[in-house]
Amino acid sequence: MKTITVEVREDHLETLAQTKPMAALSELIWNALDAEATEVRVAFIENELTGLETIRISDNGHGLHYDDALLVFRNLGGSWKRHGSRTHERKRVLHGKFGKGRFRAFSLGNSVCWHSVYKDGAAQASFKLSGHAAKLGEFTVFDRKGQVQQPSGMTVEIQDVRDTSNLLRGVKAMEEVTNVFALYLRQYPDTHIIYDGIPLDPSNAETRFTTYPLGEMVTEDGKRIEATLDVVEWRLPGKRALLLCDENGFMRIQAQPRIYFRGFSYSAYLKSAHIAALDSEGFLETGELHPDIRQLLNASRLKLREHFALREAESAIEVLDYWKETGLYPYSGTPADNQEANERRIFDIYSTHLERIFSDFSGATLRTKRLVLRLMQELVHSDPVRMAGILDELITFPEEMEEQILELAGAADADETESRQRETSQE
């Protein structure tokens, strides 16, 4: 049995040990995935008296070698992952590199034990390592056992569980952890996370999945290639990613999507056998400097722009239909003339964008929405050009949409002027 002392200031360790429960648990799951696990199980074990007693995270990864543990647990930042971006065997993208996850485990409970089973030459070996929140800078490493009959993997047991760990269970917790790992599980469909007895399903974090063939392309050396683009729209905001994948959907590298439509969160998977070939030749790291990569990305971004322009139109129609059904829409019947038709178009564009991008408006009561929409109607009717200018300061539109709004506003203003002139001449 040995004792490892961490070579870092204790106040830094205390900060790591105060991580929010789901973030801490997620780090432990990431550690398992980085160890090339294809199955990770998170179990919550209760007793009859005090409730939640143990949190157990177990995986079938390659485990941690005894000799590596002496180094890894001694130095914060001493992770084997710090020198690479991918796992050794499966070439998965690595998440963590600095070894902070092991300390964040103490934000879940006061006592943490790691049980590692690993390949030691031709045989299997195992050892245990433990630590306590009262002595964050110390870990006890128990003697190694050889010739064990268990498969490789790591089991982390957290005991003397903190009260905040109850936040890890229930419907909301399941939604939160699914959102954290949905993208990874979609990238690596051979990987499974079983959380509190239920397999995480990335489709639960999605709102829409669409596949587009990008057509045949000709590479720089004259080779004809095929590519497809899978677009996944997510429930939670903030995600935008364009991932270059092989033909099976396994990510090789991530690029900048450069396509931003407010109100939409998405990941786009560009899939082609040619991407795998470029990766094997070491060209992916050059990015858009390579003409084949640039061609693939340009085609993907064009398709993304088309996709979300269509989705914006669909979203606007759905909102307007709902307003009409609930009586929120301030207009009724068909437009009396071209002027009113243009006014309605201006109103429809701005009001549906308010619904989509401003949470204060979309989450408001029906009474508040009715008032706001009525005021917008009056403003558009009284001075469509001025209304367009006011709202342009609040909402950023694509250039082509701004041109459409200004054109409609000008037409509406011209129709109003013409109408007044007719009324004057009749007098």
CB contact burial 273-282 (16+ within 10 A = b; e otherwise): ebbbbbbeee
Contacts of residue 93, defined as CB under 8 A and 6 or more positions apart, other chains included, come to 85, 86, 187, 251
Overall residue count recorded for the chain in this entry: 427
Q: What does the block give as tokens for 276?
A: 């795998």
Helix (H) or strand (E) holding 231, with range, is strand 224-234
Query: Percent helix, strand, coil in the chain (nearest 5)?
Result: 45, 25, 30
The predicted structure's pLDDT at residue 71: 78
Q: How far apart are CA 275 and CA 283, in angstroms?
A: 9
Q: How far apart are CA 131 and CA 359, in angstroms?
A: 45
Residue matched to tokens 């694509």: 398
Contacts of residue 115, defined as CB under 8 A and 6 or more positions apart, other chains included, come to 126, 127, 128, 154, 155, 156, 157
Q: How far apart are CA 96 and CA 323, in angstroms?
A: 47
The answer to whether 362 and 373 are in contact (CB under 8 A) is no
Q: What is the pTM of this model?
A: 0.64
The predicted structure's pLDDT at residue 304: 95
Q: How far apart are CA 275 and CA 329, in angstroms?
A: 49
* Other Cβ atoms within 10 Å of 123 Cβ, number: 10
* Other Cβ atoms within 10 Å of 182 Cβ, number: 23
Q: How far apart are CA 199 and CA 148, in angstroms?
A: 29
Q: How far apart are CA 339 and CA 427, in angstroms?
A: 21
Residue matched to tokens 């590692």: 116
* Residue-range domains of the chain with CATH: 2-200 (3.30.565.10), 205-305 (no CATH), 327-426 (no CATH)
The predicted structure's pLDDT at residue 406: 57
* 269, 340, 409 from 412: Cα distances, Å: 43, 7, 5
* Closest to 153 in 3D by CA, of 8, 31, 248: 31
Phi, psi angle pair for 332, to nearest 5°? -140, 155
Helix 273-280 to helix 291-326 angle, to the nearest 10 degrees?
Answer: 140
For 55-92, the DSSP string reads: EEEEE-S----HHHHHHHTTSTT--GGGG-SB-SSS-P
Q: How far apart are CA 398 and CA 379, in angstroms?
A: 23
The predicted structure's pLDDT at residue 12: 47
Q: How far apart are the first and last CA of the chain?
A: 105
Residues facing residue 360 across a β-bridge: none
- What are the pLDDT tens digits along the chain (427 aa)? 777 776 554 544 555 556 788 888 998 999 999 999 999 999 999 987 768 899 999 999 999 999 888 777 776 544 445 445 677 777 776 765 445 667 788 989 999 999 999 999 889 999 999 999 888 778 899 989 988 999 999 999 999 998 887 889 998 899 889 878 887 898 888 999 999 999 999 888 888 999 999 999 999 999 999 999 999 998 877 778 898 988 877 778 888 888 777 778 888 999 999 998 998 888 888 888 999 999 999 999 999 999 998 888 888 888 899 999 989 999 988 888 888 888 888 888 878 877 776 767 777 888 888 888 998 888 888 876 676 666 666 655 555 555 555 566 555 555 555 555 555 455 5
The predicted structure's pLDDT at residue 55: 96
The predicted structure's pLDDT at residue 80: 43
Residues facing residue 116 across a β-bridge: 127, 154
